[in-house]
Chain A
Amino acid sequence: MEAYKKHSSVAAVMNRSNVDTDQIIPKQFLKKVERSGFGVHLFHDWRYLEDGSDNPEFELNRPEFKGAKILVAGDNFGCGSSREHAPWSIADYGFNTIISTSFADIFFNNCFKNGILPIKVDTDTLKALMDEVEANPGIEITVDLAAQQITTPGGQAISFDVDPFRKDTLLKGLDDIGWTLQFEDKISEYEVQHRQQLPWLWPSA
């Protein structure tokens, strides 16, 4: 996984709440057996017209938001299915940061596994951020994960919380499985004890 670095980038605003994973990546695109190439299908049903051309009314099709790496979105982003195709498509499209007031639980976890930083801010902060971007579409804002701060050209400086463990893995681009396997002896010890306590869980029992 690529390490998450401090960056300045165009922020796109999506002022909708409860954006669900069925919208992020509709089911007809879930049948691939690879992890890559989902970006072109991101928000498919909103993003494209019947004839396959770009829907000019869809937020992300605004020319000012081209190349955005930061998505500023409404409440409860990513609700619904567990499909990791949702963060895969978001990352493949080019976003590495999502700012919202709240995220659905599974989606939130899935983001960190894919180098995406989901940032929770309060309602007023989100509104101020959306307002500044809407007033100056195309502006670049800066996200500094190490300092846990977002800064805007308009002078907003927003601090945010992030779980220290997740921060560390994102900054280093660490592989989760490799991290866990450092503790393989603990897992083996646990299995011996668990098997003694609940022997019926194992096939030989």
Chain B
Amino acid sequence: MIVRLFVRPPLIWQKCFGKSELANANKSKHACKHQESTVEVPVKEAMKKTMYQKIWDAHLVHQPEGSAALLYVDRHLMHEVTSPQAFEGLRIANRPVRNSHSILATMDHCVPTKVEERATLPDPIGKKQIEVMAQNCADNDINLYDMNSANNGVIHIVVPEHGFVHPGMVVCCGDSHTATHGAFGALAFGIGTSEVEHIMATQTIQQKQSKTMLVKVDGELSPFATAKDIVLAIIGKIGTAGGTGYVIEFAGSAIEALTMEGRMTVCNMAIEGGARAGLIAPDQKTIDFLKGKEFAPSEEHWDQAVDYWLSLKSDDGAEYDAVVELNAADIAPQVTWGTSPEQVLPVDAVLPEPSQINDLIKSQAAESALKYMGLKAGQKMTDVGVDVVFVGSCTNGRIEDFRAIAEVSKGKKVADGVQAIAVPGSYPVKAQAEAEGIDKVLIEAGWEWREPGCSMCLAMNGDYLQPEQRCASTSNRNFEGRQGKGGRTHLVSPAMAAAAAIEGKFVDLRSWK
């Protein structure tokens, strides 16, 4: 049997988008329409599926006519900030938690990262939130890694450490950085508190299918560029709204070459490109990572699970609504200069002149960002000094991130006047780093070595910038006030952050001795 369908070869997309920003891929898609060709292919070809489609199909519980689809949720992750009102809603409606085994909870946003404050919890409102979380989990038989648990840490660091998310799952959390778990080939996305309540009550989520975008990064990355630089470069290219309405699948030889930690960093920031989720096909690295973890499939089911995971990869020739390609060799160490993650440049670039930006909205945004950041058009990033350096967060709070900053800091000293803070993503990360002597190297160099938590990524826990303080941060958002009112955030990789700590200003790692 033969069917007719449109074939949109990736090359055509690449030509259409070119090097320019993919501000609205959908519009570009229509603009490209004349280049589409109609060909005849066997019906089997028409059924080629993307990984997203496969996971969607496997989780579709019900699709009532004219309504949202109901998707089954395998894993529900939880922290103290976005859950209390959901439990309150369940209590008021007298609804039980449907599958408490599907939930893993931690405390991360509000927890202090100083030992003495962890014992006393000086912020009474934060303390209440932590207590309410403990009570809600106890009342509903939910597995909680509380502040004093040896497993405690940032939710998106803790969950992979225990193998709680597997390829092919649907995973939700009241946290936009849930996208992290796409690194395992799970469809993982952030939700609001109403949806947290909805999942607890029904184990499903109402969803509309997203469009799919393939972001292909081929070639070899420079030894000075990292997963963080890849994802910042992608956001620089597509813009913070470029992925809105899409699920992004990251592929290509440079993505395959990343460690699982690196893949988590890339997927973590899919949301910063506006996407609902990021996905990376499971491979041997994924399997090796999960093997033996607490919540990994048992021996009895292991082979069956692995076969299933490896079947999830997008079929060759599956169609995407948009395709973006980058050459890894072109990716320099990146630094954001503004108040949106799309305002990012290679470290050796000079800051843009707003009047020379054609798009009026982007030009105005650049002008106000430069003003807020206390920077001038034409200035070189490598001439910009820093006051604070923060290494941690669900983006870059894993063991390899601390290995990277230890390597840069070994035998050197943090510059005078710079406060450098290293916050492990979890107690297991902290223990591993200490077993490797990383804490000693960092403390010797002048870093503060803290307890785990979200810390200065969003500054809810007492770690925050003073107005106009400038921070090189390995976190994910450089919004106005994100790290403290008036604070100025520059997003970078861990190695770039560490080099900035040593020099007291941004440096180009490629030419730094």
Contact = CB atoms under 8 A, between A and B. Distances in A.
Interface of A: 17-18, 20, 22-23, 26-28, 30-35, 45, 74-76, 79-84, 87, 102-106, 109-110, 113-114, 163-166, 176-177, 179-181, 183-184, 186-187, 190-191, 194, 198-203, 205
Given A31-B81, A194-B72, A22 B202 contact: no
Interface in B417-440: none
A22 B480 contact: yes
24 contacts: A20-B477, A22-B480, A31-B126, A35-B193, A45-B480, A45-B481, A45-B485, A76-B240, A84-B85, A104-B244, A105-B274, A106-B191, A164-B66, A176-B198, A179-B206, A180-B202, A183-B61, A183-B62, A187-B70, A187-B204, A190-B72, A203-B101, A205-B297, A205-B301
Contact of B88 (A34, A80, A105): A34
A17 B361 contact: yes
With most chain A CB atoms within 10 A of its CB, the pick from B189, B192, B480 is B192
A148 B331 CA distance: 46
Given A163-B208, A187-B202, A203-B101, 4 more contacts: A23-B481, A82-B192, A84-B193, A165-B68
Nearest to B369: A18
Contact of A82 (B68, B95, B190): B190
Contacts of A83: 81-82, 192
Please provide the 6 A-B residue pairs with the shortest distance between their CB atoms, ordered closest to farther: A200-B297, A84-B192, A113-B194, A33-B84, A110-B192, A82-B190
Contact of B477 (A22, A75, A177, A194): A22
Nearest to A28: B460
Contacts, number: 183
Interface size range of chain B in the complex: 35 or more
B141 to A, nearest CB: 11
Contacts of A201: 74, 166, 169
A31 B176 contact: no
A202 B101 contact: yes
Interface string B220-256: 0000000000000000000011001100000000000
Given A27-B458, A82-B190, A109-B195, A32 B274 contact: no
Interface string B437-472: 000000000000000000000111000000000000
B352 interface: no
